[in-house]
Chains A and B, each alone.
Chain A
Amino acid sequence: MISNPGNFRDAISRCDWIFDLFAHGFDFLNGRFIPDDDPALADLWDSAEDEIKRRDIAAQLVDADGAIPLGLRQYLDIPGGDVEMQSTEFYIRLFSVLSAIDRAAADLNHLHAHTRLGSSRWSRVVEHFERHGKQLQREASGYVVFRPRYFEQGPYLQWSNEARTSGQWTEIPERGEHLGKYFENLLRIFPLNDCELDFRVLNPLQDFHDVSWTKLRVGLVPLIQELNVRSSDAQLLPGPLLMKKDASAPSFSIEVDGDPKSVFRDLCDRAEAALRHVAEQGCQIAMFPEMVMPDPVLRRLKEVLADLAGKNRSRPGLTVAGTFTRLLPHHATRPFNVAVVLNHRGEELWRQQKAQPYDMHLHEQRRFGLDALLQSNPCRENIAYTPRKLLTVDSRTTGLRIMILICEDLAREPGTRAVRDLHPSLVLTPVMAGPLEATGGFAISIAQMLQDNDGIFLVGNSAALAKAAWKHDGKTGDPPLLLVGVPLLKKSDHQPLETVSKTERASGPLGPEVLIYQFPG
């Protein structure tokens, strides 16, 4: 979004809130100006910074507590003519002001190591921020929010350093330029036309408990292992879930075969055994995939986590309890595809609905052996997906910004746009898809996003469709069901990705399969 000089001048003259000024200033500079390394500009940069120092703009910003200090307006000195407004001198002046605002806002950034608020410092801004959904802007369109910590900070420092010193991983070389990277605390997010953003912060009681971050350890429980295609439906086995084509539309649904009160016992037992195994393995994160988690199974997971917490046993700090179709309040006519996130005691932290339905195309149906059943190109997943809302959840304990993007949402707007703009440090994606190969759609999407984002991406799949496609393609062994993206490049293939195929069995008579991934290895 680029604003023209006239609009910018008008916006600034009306503006009386420093974070609105940041938004307008960013929008004006965006696409017009990047701080480049032209030696001819070095003196301009130095004099701009010296002037910011001389006028003590930083102290004025704190004193003004959200208002725009007179000294800042005087220094900015908005030119009357469009030509002067598009001069390098003004760009540098404006950028220096935005940078000063960004530095001053460090006092408030709840995701950083320390905040400096004290008694009356920033009291008006803090009240505004808390009351308005953790957003800083007032009148400007879109959002101004805080940026999460760097990848190198917080819990990652140890294992990212270890990965680099192991010689197997290296930094991703920077490509391209964007204005946002020059601001450490503030994120300018342009409005998403068709999707609401919801910013949340975990309360310390529900945040990650005392998890060791020496290594990143993730456990994936595929839960569903096989696809048994029949004439009128396809069984997702083990368990009572069925994929069915809808009679009235070229769409498909996942339904429950039998009485929900009694048919889930086996699936619940499997989920429990697998979760206990993942907990014993010391995983910080447990993942269940898409469309495998009806409410009875979800309840069992909550019980298991509560039990482990009661006995003070090792357990995941965060469990993505898969997804299933669920009705939302005020949208009771058609279910959404909803993921549930649990904390280390099994309490629900938040729910995320899918924002894009899956259009299963004919070539995919053939790979899965579903073409005879679905008989339409494409066949759409029968879910509600509007109104769209994406949640971003900040963990102050770890500095993580977490997003759940269900399946297609990782590869399409508004999910991809949200990742690009919000810089989540942990993106968790439950899917029901084919094998998660390093050349597949999800992998390509993650690799692209990691060009501009220092995040960790975890994509977890169930085995039914993946195994069917693996077999169809004539491949042997197990298909990859877990795809991991990290903001480092693997030296062997220059990819920021790892795929995991190897399964292990949890103990007990049911012995459900789980996949464990550790980084660095």
Chain B
Amino acid sequence: MASGTLMMDKEVSSPQTVPEDLVSAIGVHAKEIFQDKQESGALALQNELDALTAKVSATAFEPFREQFDDLLRLLRNSYGQLARFVEGDFREQPSFYLGQLHALAELAHRLGHQHAPREAVELVARSKTVERILRRVVEEKSVGALELATKLGLEESNLSSTCKPLVEKELLRRDRFGKRVRYSPTPLTFAVLGQVSGKPSGHVDGAPDRAMVALSADGTRDWPRVAVAAAANSLAPGQNVMANTDDFLSPLLTLAGVRGSDGIAIDPSGRTVSLEAKKRGERTEFDLPKSVRKSLVEQLKACADFKGMDPSTVAGDVVDWSGQKLSFASQVADAGGAFTVQFLGVPDPEASKSKVQTAFQEIQEEKTRLIDFEKIYVREVLEGCEWKPTKAASTLGISRGRLDTLMKNLNLAP
């Protein structure tokens, strides 16, 4: 245990009796245990050593070597306080080695605890909306739900459902004062945004990334890897594919899987997709709609940056996509510059079918959701225009004819 490892039934020394100086305190407690045989000092001594461990882990984030020199001096002095009670060669005692492992584990835990979990970073990487919410909350420091929704152009109810998993994962803090809900950032919010700030593409809302990075204790940023993993993980069984409506790469992979292709190739503009089955000599090509291309291209850029490839590189990096290994690569420029994703090994037919079903279900749900919302949205605009079609069409920025068709399709009437 951090306190009281391998020790039982020790008294806790009260806070008032602990000497102020850490090194002296170690000496006092060591004397209690090893000379006066008072077992009460054991837990207190462990507490002092935990404080030293905390100092070591904090110093790991210091920019200059001088702080390490100070720390080593402190450790040497502390060592001296304990070494005087040693009889014989302590290197022959298992406890000497156990103690070292104990300290290393504690140190590793403390350092690890200051880095963002992959799952949390991926949760943000999967959705621009989530990233926008977090950035806005960090900017505001603390913000009411209604105000946040207004600033982000979201319905408060939609904001609430989006924020729920973020609160569960400690990416947001939610406080309720009476009927009012307020959101504020958590330490994890800063850490994750610090990671995401390293992404190569532009930032939503132009949030002050420098401040984010400065506030984050995390030094490592591997955005492309996270982006690829996030895209892959979005198809994990039971998860919501279209939770990230910008992830079109994953559904395309499901098509390739179910059609027995070796992989897919996408041109750099995101316009054309090829499903290739080289052994059968088959190649199916189709165009993607314009509305999809922009998101797909952004996703591909992230994947390309993933391996920091130069144009001549053919071999890509390997990603585990829900149990299926994938190889990402950018083909050489004279071959058309396509981006390819190859299956490593033959995809399991059942798994491919299941992935298609998941993806299709999510596409359907997304479509239904948007149609439902579109109906309410158009109706409310019409209501605001007192059901005058010309005025409503102008407000919506569409033609009168298109509005008429829309009203018919959506079954809207005054």
Contacts and interface: CB of A to CB of B under 8 A. Distances in A.
Nearest to A336: B9
Interface-centre pick from B2, B144, B184, B215 (highest chain A CB count, 10 A): B2
Given A329-B39, A348-B6, A202 B170 contact: no
A37 B180 CA distance: 8
Nearest to B144: A46
Contact of A37 (B67, B120, B178, B188): B178
A73 to B, nearest CB: 20
A300 interface: no
Q: Which of B3, B22, B53, B144 has the most chain A CB within a 10 Å cutoff?
A: B3
B102 A198 contact: no
B170 A130 contact: no
Nearest to B178: A37
Q: Name the residue in B1, B6, B12 with the highest tally of chain A Cβ atoms < 10 Å from its Cβ.
A: B1
Contacts of A35: 176-178
A152 interface: yes
Contact of A106 (B48, B168, B173): B173
A314 to B, nearest CB: 23
B55 A205 contact: no
Nearest to A200: B3
Contacts of B9: 328-329, 338, 351, 353
A113 B178 contact: no
Contact of A127 (B54, B116, B179, B184): B54
A103 B190 CA distance: 13
Contacts of B244: none
A319 B403 CA distance: 68
A206 B6 CA distance: 10
Given A42-B179, A329-B39, A114 B187 contact: yes
A130 B26 CA distance: 13
B307 interface: no
Nearest to B168: A152
Nearest to A95: B177
B113 A153 contact: no
Given A49-B142, A58-B141, A204 B170 contact: no
Nearest to A137: B15
Contacts of B216: 116
Contact of A107 (B50, B61, B187): B187
B47 A133 contact: yes
A131 B55 contact: no
Contacts of A36: 178
A134 B2 CA distance: 10
Given A114-B188, A133-B12, A203-B105, A45 B5 contact: no
B1 A201 contact: yes
B389 interface: no
A199 B4 CA distance: 10
Interface in B79-111: 101-102, 105-106, 108-109
Contacts of B177: 35, 45, 182
A127 B71 CA distance: 14
A237 interface: no
Interface string A200-225: 11111110000000000000000000
A184 interface: yes
B8 interface: yes
Nearest to B165: A157
Interface string A336-377: 001000000001111101000000000000000000000000
B102 A203 contact: yes
Contact of B4 (A99, A153, A330, A350): A350
A126 B58 CA distance: 10
Interface residues of A, number: 68
A347 B6 contact: yes
A473 B59 CA distance: 66
A467 interface: no
B348 interface: no
B370 interface: no
Interface string A98-121: 010001001100101111111111
A38 interface: yes
Interface in A458-497: none
B70 interface: no
B22 A127 contact: yes
A263 interface: no
B186 interface: yes
A110 B173 contact: no
B1 A117 contact: no
Contacts of A350: 1, 4, 8
A53 interface: yes
Contacts of B11: 330
B380 interface: no
A204 B105 contact: yes
Interface residues of B, number: 68
A106 B186 contact: yes
Select the residue from B39, B177, B179, B215 with max chain A CB neighbours within 10 A.
Answer: B177
A121 B57 CA distance: 12
B229 to A, nearest CB: 18
A1 interface: no
B101 to A, nearest CB: 6
Given A116-B217, A200-B4, A38 B168 contact: no
B117 interface: yes
Contact of A153 (B53, B168, B190): B168
B169 interface: yes
A14 to B, nearest CB: 16
B353 interface: no
Nearest to B4: A200
Contacts of A58: 141
Given A203-B106, A351-B9, A113 B188 contact: yes
A114 B2 contact: no
Contact of A116 (B25, B63, B141, B191): B191
B380 to A, nearest CB: 26
Of B4, B22, B62, B67, most A-chain CB atoms within 10 Å: B4
B15 A135 contact: yes
Contact of A396 (B3, B113, B142, B187): B113
A103 B184 contact: yes
B314 interface: no
B77 to A, nearest CB: 15
B173 A133 contact: no
Contacts of A37: 178-179
Nearest to B107: A204
A132 interface: yes
B372 interface: no
Contacts of B50: 130-131
A395 to B, nearest CB: 10
A118 B18 CA distance: 26
A256 B168 CA distance: 51
B287 interface: no
B54 A130 contact: yes
A204 B101 CA distance: 10
Contact of A132 (B47, B55, B175): B47
Given A103-B184, A131-B51, A351-B9, A114 B117 contact: yes
Contacts of A315: none
B139 to A, nearest CB: 11
A204 B25 contact: no
Contact of B180 (A42, A389, A393): A42
A117 B15 contact: no
B141 A117 contact: no
A329 B25 CA distance: 23
Given A45-B177, A182-B175, A131 B62 contact: no
Interface in B338-385: none
B120 to A, nearest CB: 7
8 contacts: A52-B142, A112-B170, A114-B170, A126-B54, A132-B15, A133-B47, A203-B106, A349-B1
Given A113-B170, A182-B177, A396-B113, 6 more contacts: A42-B180, A118-B58, A118-B114, A138-B15, A196-B12, A348-B6
In the complex, the 8 A-B pairs of residues with the closest C-beta atoms, listed nearest first:
A37-B178, A116-B187, A130-B51, A119-B61, A118-B217, A114-B188, A130-B50, A204-B109
